[in-house]
Amino acid sequence: MTDHHTPSNSSPLPLTTSPFDDDKFHDECGVFGVYNTPEASTHAVLGLHSLQHRGQEAAGIVSFHEGQFYSHKSLGHVADNFNTQPVISSLPGNSAIGHVRYSTSGGAGLRNVQPLFADLASGGFAVAHNGNLTNALTLRKQLVQKGAIFQSTSDSEVVIHLIATSTYLNLQDKFIDAMRRIEGAFAFVALAEDCLIGARDPLGVRPLVLGKLHDDSYIFASETCALDIIGADYIRDVEPGEVVTISEKGLESTKPFPSVSPRPCIFEHVYFSRPDSLTSGTSVYKVRKNIGRELAKECQLNADLVVPVPDSGVPAAIGYAQEAGIPFELGIIRNHYVGRTFIEPSDTIRHLGVKLKHNANRGELDGKIVVLIDDSIVRGTTSVKIVDMVRQAGAKEVHMYIASPPTTDPCYYGVDTPDKEKLLASNMTIDEMAEHIGADSLKFISIDGLYRAVGEDNRNKECPQYCDACFSGEYPTPLTDNNASDADKQFSLLTDSRA
């Protein structure tokens, strides 16, 4: 296998991750796969570019050409590391898979950048994973005790070892055997010498879509926006519990798992997915506007302006303004060029930091009663600064309305979230939260209102239609590693750390 690594961003300035985004759930990861098309790696680069919002720490691509696998992995953004013809030329072939990463399980570092590759007895095999395995540490301990040697601290590598040690004969069966042993949430794309595989966990927590570029060229991607950028047609979502194999035989589908009621992540509708994507065939943008409308029905106020916290609050704010009959204005302007900064995050810079990313539009806010619309509150740190900034711009009253229920519990399914004790809603009442962030009032959409916005009558309390554990604390899979013994947790500290 030919393997190329770019150790860091090539900018001459010392870049650090922005210290001004600590009040959001960090996006999980994005996966992309393409089969049987010329310039597969070019398509993969474009697909990953459109999925950049799902993971901004690192990116990687593995391609296959004439019996040989080729790889390029880098820390940093896709555009910074896959932007030259020599890089693209180093990834020849008609099939490729790619991954953009924000570290959840396993932590940062080049050795954890995906896709992961291994030479197995049945041939070369590369895999990229979106999600998190809730029994990865337990399986890892078992594998290490049997002599397995791990090259990374990513939970995804467990799958490689499970495939390598499976007693089934062909690679597809080995892959399915491995899928049956893991718990948690996953969307996999995998590349072998003769096929491309896409797989989704039985609950469908993490998204994966299937597209078509031409008659015999297929695409897997985390979101439909990655199909749009290369002109591919959206066929359908990969179904929960489905394994799709694409080869010279065409498309083959199997469902090797026991049938269960799907529980896709509802936060895809709230924040993670790009608004121009489809989730379960439904426009994310329209759903977010619906969330704003439901929020207006539940939380009415005689205000002068509806102002979104950009950019994620914009569609919900439009829906709220339309339903409430209150003017929508861009009362906060976002600087789109601040994601990473060369400025060291000292206390002084942290205090000023929100103004690097957002600035109040004083001409619209002065003397007004303002409804601020945001998608969520996690720690509350940014909300404090936003409310204060709007007040300093002359707003008469500032009311913060949130387009999701209170975030009370961490996610264990591939989203980097704070521990429960650091989540504002798990430690304060809503009135206490309002006082903490300095708002005149604070309102959240109800969980039933959120379900109505995505097209359900209400939340089915006996068997919820979505994974909403971050709002309800009801986790749809076993949390095997989280409930491990103290000795096993000590092992986890040595082998796998959260970023």
Q: pLDDT tens across 150-173, in order?
A: 998 889 999 999 999 999 999 999
Closest by CA position to 499, among listed 73, 16, 19, 109: 109
Domain boundaries, the chain: 2-262, 279-472
Q: What is the pLDDT of residues 335-363, one digit of tens each?
A: 877 654 444 455 555 556 566 788 999 99
265 has catalytic annotation: no
Query: Dihedral (C-alpha) 482, 487, 489, 494: value to the nearest 10 degrees?
Result: -160
Q: What is the mean pLDDT of residues 369-380?
A: 96
DSSP class of 440? S
308 φ/ψ sector (left φ>0, alpha ψ -120 to 50, else beta): beta
Q: What is the mean pLDDT of residues 11-15?
A: 34
Q: For the chain, give the mean pLDDT.
A: 90
Distance CA 411, CA 154 (A): 17
**% of the chain with per-residue pLDDT over 70:** 87
pLDDT class of 418 with cuts at 50, 70, 90: confident
Q: What is the pLDDT of residues 469-496, one digit of tens each?
A: 999 999 999 999 988 755 455 444 444 4
> Alpha helix (H) ranges present in 187-338?
225-228, 267, 284-298, 314-324
Q: What is the pLDDT of residues 275-299, one digit of tens each?
A: 999 998 999 999 999 999 999 999 9
pLDDT of residue 215: 85
pLDDT of residue 15: 36
Question: Which CATH architecture group holds 2-262?
Answer: 4-Layer Sandwich (3.60)
Task: List b or e across 37-56, with b for residues whose CB sees 16 or more CB atoms inside 10 angstroms.
Answer: bebbbbbbbbbbbbbbbbbb
Q: Rounded to the nearest 5°, which phi and psi values hold at 196? A: -120, 135
Q: Rounded to the nearest 5°, which phi and psi values hold at 101? A: -130, 135
> pTM of this prediction?
0.91
**Side-by-side strand order, sheet with 369-374:** 305-308, 369-374, 397-402, 441-444
**One CATH from 3.40.1190.20, 3.20.20.140, 3.10.20.30, 3.40.50.2020 for 279-472:** 3.40.50.2020
